[in-house]
Amino acid sequence: MEYNLLIKAALQGCTNLQLHGGFNNPNSTYRIKVKCKRCQEENVIEMSLGHVPTSSSTSRKTNSSKSPVHFDGQCDIKSCAQKIWAQMIPGCGAPYARNSKVEYKEIMKFKFGGAKPVGFIFGGG
């Protein structure tokens, strides 16, 4: 299932709002809070477009998409160990321009397996 990250902003004193280096910067790291589908515990995962784990099992699961998996791990709860993967869909999103109406706008798109997103962590934590 695909999930869109939407923002809504009223900009004052700047011309546009976008992630440093743009939305498709392979060096940008994103932190997302996800809820495990098996045990319902929350985990924080980190991923970037420039990092592609070398897990062949996850690659086969998401072979229907042309984009590689950007996070491949498991739930932090040892008794659960649910496999969790995440994939960023490149090419989605655009800067939120100052002249934009104050309405929600898609800035990123993701796919998840084994967990569902519950929050996006902006900044360092």
Sequence spans of domains, the chain: 2-121
What pTM was estimated for this model as a whole? 0.77
Q: How far apart are CA 59 and CA 76, in angstroms?
A: 21
Amino acid at site 96: Y
pLDDT computed for residue 63 by the predictor: 45
> 56 phi and psi, to 5 degrees?
-70, -30
| Predicted confidence pLDDT, tens digits, the chain (125 residues) | 899 988 888 888 888 887 777 767 778 888 999 999 999 999 999 988 777 776 544 443 444 556 688 899 999 999 999 999 999 887 777 777 777 777 888 888 899 999 999 999 876 55
Cα distances from 9 to residues 16, 28, 109, 113, 123, in angstroms, run 10, 22, 18, 30, 17
DSSP 69: P
Q: How far apart are CA 71 and CA 73, in angstroms?
A: 7
pLDDT computed for residue 65 by the predictor: 55
Q: CB count, 10 Å around CB of 93?
A: 21
Residue 60's SS3 state is: helix
Beta-bridged to residue 121, according to DSSP, are 31
